[in-house]
Amino acid sequence: MADELGAHVSAEGGVQNCPSRATEIGAKCIQLFTKQAQRWHEPTLARDTIDHFLSERESHELDFVGAHDSYLINLSSPNANSWEKSKQSFQAELERSTSLELDFVVTHPGNATGISAKSPDNNQRRTDLKDIQVEMDQIQKMMDEGLDDSAESQLKLEKQSLDRKRRALLEQGEDLQKGLELNALGITRALEAVEPGTKVLLELTAGSGTSVGGTFEHLARIRELIPSDLKERVGFCFDTCHGYSAGYDLVEDYEGVWDQFDSVLGIDNLGLIHMNDSQHPFLSHKDRHQNIGDGFIGEEPFRKIMMDPRLSGVPKILETPKGNDPVASDLHNLSLLRSFRS
């Protein structure tokens, strides 16, 4: 069986250098950027660069290779200029990924910013959301002080209840639904323009603010809106840090999380798992990755993932902090994950 474990590696010096970096960390599976993630400039890959990359991939016998798109892309933006720029950037990313014969390209669904519009309804919703966040922060502060199990469980239930109210407020009106529709449209246009080959993976987000993609239902709706003849080219990426921060409790309800994933999205549509611990507690809606076992998720859920037959063969990519020595950091996290199989 292919070793599906790997990490996001640097493309410094060109994408053709990435396969050798996979070998440095003993991986057969990597994720990379095909361009600088914080810039709009869209480079065109020269034919010799593409050929060099393909030769290196074959030489290093990599099983899975994919890309993550630019962090600037927002296909859920209600601003026409921003959306058009994002659509063009995503299409260019898909074109580069396809030319490199990559297996997947991961994309964040983006942000539906309409809730910030100055209207009486939105102003009230914004006030209500702030009040709920204050209550959630107060509850988390009490939990951080250390309580007995019974009291902590009760506070956790209260926090989950408040978060459901928060989600309901965010999904009122047309902001979010329009964002989902715009996202699906942007992906559809890119898929129509680019030959099949590289699969698009919608990544679950931490669900902060007005971000789109913080629930399984959001991701399902985006894929549902994509035409049937293109739908098979779209799957999902589950990020463990994002999921835990968004409210999917891998620690206390591991089986429930995957049962819900299968029910809403279909486990067969899972194309990638980002393996990241979290610097912040459950339901924080904060996207801050941590090394495996050093965060609030802890080792046990990752042990379960590594032993879960439903997830066997699904690529699993580290996006953990690199520190001063990226190779040593990746080697440590990968070694720990592999040890969970024994």
Residue 123 domain-assigned (yes or no): no
Which residues on adjacent β-strands are paired with residue 64? 29
Which tokens belong to 75?
């296909």
Residue 333 domain-assigned (yes or no): yes
Residue 131 domain-assigned (yes or no): no
**Total domains present in the chain:** 1
Q: Which CATH number covers residue 319?
A: 3.20.20.150
Residue 29 domain-assigned (yes or no): yes
Residue 161 domain-assigned (yes or no): no
The residue among 110, 103, 109 whose CA lies nearest residue 317 is 103
pLDDT in tens, the chain (342 residues): 457 999 999 999 999 999 999 999 999 999 999 999 999 999 999 999 999 999 999 999 999 999 999 999 999 999 999 999 999 999 999 999 999 999 999 999 998 875 444 445 566 766 777 788 788 888 888 888 877 878 888 888 888 888 788 777 766 656 788 899 999 999 999 999 999 999 999 999 998 877 899 999 999 999 999 999 999 999 999 999 999 999 999 999 999 999 999 999 999 999 999 999 999 999 999 999 999 999 999 999 999 999 999 999 999 999 999 999 999 999 999 999 999 997
Residues whose CB is less than 8 angstroms from the CB of residue 197 and which lie 6 or more positions away in sequence, other chains included: 98, 101
The domain in which residue 186 lies consists of 5-116+174-339
On whether the CB atoms of residues 242 and 209 are closer than 8 A, the answer is no
Residue 142 domain-assigned (yes or no): no
Residue 64 domain-assigned (yes or no): yes
SS (H, E, C) 91-144: HHHHHHHHHCCCCEEEECCCECHHHHCCCHHHHHHHHHHHHHHHHHHHHHHHHH
pLDDT digits (tens, 9 = 90+) for 130-166: 788 788 888 888 888 877 878 888 888 888 888 788 7
Residue 245 domain-assigned (yes or no): yes
For residue 112, the number of C-alpha atoms closer than 13 Å in the C-beta half-sphere is 23
